[in-house]
Amino acid sequence: MRDAAPVLGAAALAHGLWFTGLVLNPLVVLQHAGPWLALSYAVIGAILWATPRIVPGTGRVRDGALMGVIVVAAFTLLRQASHAPMPLWTGTDAGEQIARSILALVLAGAFLGIGIRRQARDWRLASLALMLIAVAKVFLFDAAGLDGLARIASFAALGFSLIGVGWLYSRYLPDASR
């Protein structure tokens, strides 16, 4: 039975990623998933988390897949919370655009925290990528739709988050430049 566990786990993971991530994803298809969407992503995450215990030597691959699932799950759940069931091609409003930028910054901070705690460079690089995407999105898209005080607040929040990331790196990773 122990030999069948990796095969069954891989089949369950492939099924979950295929249907939850692609075929029936509310970001892509007009599909109302209800409360089952969060549970589906949680099951996929749990399977990925347990993978190195079942199949040794898959830690880095697991981390990369887990980061991808976390990002897709977070943005899918945000879309479902704001406009369920409406695929991305139906359009978004300004509130959801700002929420996406904030979510990207929060995920970047969480990935950085995980990377610092576990001394995992992959998580810190994913954090940097998310932060750069969020900064580019704010400068290129979000700021164009804002005026006055809202634009100032947006840039101030972005600046504080960048300062916070720099502070975390200097405080907890003094040898990160090596």
Average pLDDT across the chain, whole number: 83
pLDDT at 58: 80
Taking residues 145-168, what's their average pLDDT? 84
Residue from 52, 44, 55 nearest 120 by CA: 52
User: What pTM value is reported for the model?
Assistant: 0.81
pLDDT tens per residue, range 113-122: 999 999 899 9
Q: What's the half-sphere exposure (Cβ side, CA atoms, 13 Å) at 43? A: 17
pLDDT at 54: 77
Higher pLDDT, 112 or 83: 112
Distance CA 32, CA 7 (A): 30
